[in-house]
Amino acid sequence: MSEPNTGFRSPNLLQSAIPLIVLIGFLTLNVLFFRDDTLSGANQMALLLSAGVCSLLALRLGFRWNDLFDGMLNSIGAAMPAMLILLLIGSLTGTWLLSGVVPTLIYYGLLVLHPSIFLFAACIICSLVSVATGSSWSTVATLGIALLGIGKALGIHEGIIAGAIISGAYFGDKISPLSDTTILAPAMAGTDVFTHVKYLLYTTVPSMVITLIILLIWGFTLQSKDTSLDVQNVMEAIKGTFQITPWLLLVPALTIAVILLKTPAIPALMFATLLGAAFALIFQPDIIKQVGEHEGGWGINAYMACFKAMFGPIQIETGQPEVNELLATKGMAGMLNTIWLIIPAMIFGGAMEVTGMLKRLIRIIIDRAKSTVALVSSTAATCIFFNITASDQYMAIVVPGRMFAPVYRQRGLKPEVLSRTLEDSGTVTSVLIPWNTCGATQSAVLGVSTWIYFPYAFFCLISPLMTMLFAWLNIRIRRLSPEEMAEPAKTSIAEKKD
């Protein structure tokens, strides 16, 4: 066993800032050159190269490579539960599509659409679909396009339509246990997914209620014209392909029940995945045959269809290309790019943490954030800053999460206070930045400039303000008990030296 290393110098402010400046520079170039394809490897390389810069600086300061490497491995290990959950969520989305659960949720969601409450209904529908799928991007890219066309046919301004669609889609992206950001935020803060989601509802529900009230009032002031709603075609395509029945709603209902019983995330998600597969065998024999694509008997097709849905991409053929895009999932394989991003991010964060560079960087902010209100506000501002400069919502969660986690503990705040702030500020504001991967993608998909829908994306604008308001009013700010404060916390090498 090697002796602890004490022969290194603590990094100064400039040395601590250099790896972060390099990272921001790489990420900016990635957005310029790779555009919306930055998650396919460019950002991962940026993180690894920035971690390399951090390591070179640390070696010059006297750190040993073995200590740096151990710090990186420990950081990756801390994120391992989140990566396992991501893989299970990929499988869950596959079996829920195969069983008809997601199509059923979409079908019943579309039933509430009515011209007189279009904006309100559009936001609700996108919320339901995004919660069910855990993806704001797929919701906007499929159902969002259809809703935009309908709203424009009704004579409604495209900015407010896009704002309603994005508000609903990012509501689901923010609270759905199927969303990668909903998993990433608690992983960075040091809490579990279900604790995070339950605590997140305290600020998210009021933000959404205010948004829906605004959209409802706005909708009743509009004068719409009669038109044939294309949504009917979507509903007919879904009903003509799947067996739509309320019995399928038992799957999400039983999943919620299991979660409320405080079942750990991994067993709960495995149960939900297998439950979806079981319901697929019962209710969707035609879909089983279509996905299985085997000339053998039904049993072989059932085996192959369920496995395909769990591990890889499937797309259900309905005869309408736009509906086919909505009824598609990538299974576990679809989560690999996100996991690929998490590993380099944790390597970078581990290197920055173990050398004490993160501690040095945030000391300036922490010294000025004397109160809980100031700390929460500083966290929110940092998340928005990274969405603007790093141009990626994952970076806006990962880096501030790693920076502020020990500070929240020192101030006696539970980790869910941090995870909620990361989601309220990092996840939802990414779509408001034109050069952010989220803003650039949604603007291109909808054909509506970010600057046009920016003032109407009410949920995304209200969420960071809501989390700061709760801190100011001291509402639902959970604090560690004396026993929890006494528990040993993980420290970096630099902290041990101090």
Asked, for residue 4, whether it belongs to a domain, the answer is: no
- Residue 164 CA to its chain's centroid (Å): 19
Q: Are residues 61 and 148 in the same domain?
A: no
Contact yes or no for 438/393 (Cβ under 8 A): yes
**What is the pLDDT at residue 107?**
81
**What is the pLDDT at residue 274?**
95
**What is the pLDDT at residue 226?**
46
- How many whole angstroms separate alpha carbon 342 and alpha carbon 409? 23
Q: Are residues 115 and 260 in the same domain?
A: yes
- Which of the listed residues 281, 302, 334 is the one where a domain comes to its end? 334
Asked, for residue 191, whether it belongs to a domain, the answer is: yes
First to last CA, the chain: 22
- Which of the listed residues 282, 314, 334 is the one where a domain comes to its end? 334
Q: Are residues 134 and 263 in the same domain?
A: yes
Ramachandran angles phi, psi of 314, nearest 5°: -135, 150
**What is the pLDDT at residue 153?**
61
**What is the pLDDT at residue 495?**
41
Asked, for residue 5, whether it belongs to a domain, the answer is: no
**What is the pLDDT at residue 4?**
53
DSSP 170-234: HHHHHH-TT-HHHHHHHHHHT--HHHHHHHHHHHHHHHHHHHHHHHHHHHHTS-------THHHH
Token readout for 495 is 């902290």
Q: Are residues 172 and 215 in the same domain?
A: yes
Contact yes or no for 453/159 (Cβ under 8 A): yes
Q: Are residues 192 and 243 in the same domain?
A: yes
- Counted domains in the chain: 2
Mean pLDDT in order along the chain per 10 residues (498 residues): 63 89 87 77 88 93 92 84 81 89 80 76 88 77 73 79 94 85 87 88 95 91 55 82 92 79 81 93 92 82 93 88 78 83 82 83 76 90 80 79 84 90 92 80 80 93 95 86 65 40
Q: Are residues 60 and 102 in the same domain?
A: no
Asked, for residue 407, whether it belongs to a domain, the answer is: yes
- Which of the listed residues 272, 302, 334 is the one where a domain comes to its end? 334
Asked, for residue 51, whether it belongs to a domain, the answer is: yes
Tell me which residue range forms the domain holding 251.
83-334
Q: Are residues 245 and 127 in the same domain?
A: yes
